[in-house]
């Protein structure tokens, strides 16, 4: 059994995989993480552990709680990845992006794939049909755009997300909603359209907590479930076990 841990900015997701199927999942806040680890079911059956983080590094805590398990660290330079990595600054490449690309390799092998993860940030990652990862782009997500308008101006209010079905806002609040919502849609569609010029068989996968806001708004895209990162992390375990 494999334990997969996806550590986000505000919450932590934990998954148990058995025969490549998710048999258990849990979601907790950071202040509940240690207790959640210690009360996981089937602890004695966990053979392998892997984690991905975009915030806090829990390596020491995880290793302490699973001394008898194999712990696969994405920061380990000897860890094998299921793709050729052509990213120039490897030390700054986010662990979540490594997991996303690995999931694409697992789910869509030998395919030109753009993975768009819509969370705190929006990340774009491209891997070609020859299994070469080229990199991508990073831009602010929904909440960052709302907060930045409030933080860096004197009069614009801090708003929460609202889906808007028109381009022209007739008041300040709707103008902000339109600028953010339609701006993100236009940005994503632009990335897709530009890549389609060079890769007309491009496969587009959209995932992440905020992807639900864009259903039916993005052309030619597959909306993956929220386990997409977890599937990639589990695939990295399997890939290294078979080496």
pLDDT confidence band for 163 (50 / 70 / 90): very high
pLDDT of residue 160: 95
Residue 209 makes CB contacts below 8 A (sequence gap 6+) with: 118, 119, 226
Instruction: Please state, rounded to an integer, the average pLDDT across all residues of the chain.
Output: 95
Measured CA angle at 201 (ends 199, 133), to 5 deg: 55
Span 1-73 CATH architecture: 2-Layer Sandwich (3.30)
Indicate which residues carry an active-site annotation: 96
CATH classification of 84-243 is 3.30.420.40, yes or no? yes
Predicted confidence (pLDDT) at residue 242 exceeds the cutoff of 80: no
pLDDT confidence band for 73 (50 / 70 / 90): very high
* CA–CA separation, 124 and 142 (whole Å): 15
Size of the chain, expressed as the number of residues it contains: 243
Enumerate the domain spans of the chain: 1-73, 84-243
Q: Give the predicted TM-score (pTM) of the model.
A: 0.94
pLDDT of residue 219: 79
First to last CA, the chain: 18
Q: What is the pLDDT of residues 199-226, one digit of tens each?
A: 989 999 999 999 999 988 997 899 998 8
* CA–CA separation, 201 and 204 (whole Å): 10
Packing angle, helices 95-107 and 228-241, rounded to 10 = 80
Spatial strand order in the sheet of 11-18: 21-29, 11-18, 2-7, 48-53, 70-73
Question: What average pLDDT does range 80-93 have in this prediction?
Answer: 94
């Amino acid at each position: 059994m494999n334990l997969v841990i996806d550590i986000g900015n505000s919450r932590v997701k934990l998954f148990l995989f058995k025969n490549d199927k998710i048999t258990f999942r849990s979601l907790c806040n950071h202040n509940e993480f240690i207790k959640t680890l210690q009360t996981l079911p089937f602890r004695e059956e966990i053979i392998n552990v892997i984690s991905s983080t975009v915030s806090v590094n829990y390596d020491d805590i995880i290793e302490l709680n699973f001394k008898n398990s194999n712990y696969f660290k994405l920061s380990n330079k000897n860890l094998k990845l299921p793709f050729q990595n052509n990213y120039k600054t490897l030390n700054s490449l986010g662990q979540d992006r490594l997991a996303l690309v690995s999931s694409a390799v697992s789910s869509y092998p030998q395919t030109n794939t753009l993975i768009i993860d819509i969370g705190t940030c929006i990340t774009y990652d491209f891997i070609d049909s020859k299994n070469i990862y080229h990199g991508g782009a990073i831009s602010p997500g929904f909440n960052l755009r709302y907060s930045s308008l409030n933080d860096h101006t004197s009069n614009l209010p801090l708003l929460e997300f609202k889906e808007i079905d028109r381009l022209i806002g007739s008041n300040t609040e709707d103008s902000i909603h339109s600028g953010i919502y339609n701006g993100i849609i236009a940005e994503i569609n632009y990335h897709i359209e530009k890549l389609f010029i060079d890769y007309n068989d491009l496969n587009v996968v959209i995932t992440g907590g905020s992807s639900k806001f864009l259903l039916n708004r993005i052309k030619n895209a597959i909306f993956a479930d929220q386990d997409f990162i977890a599937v990639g992390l589990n695939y990295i375990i399997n890939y290294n076990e078979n080496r």
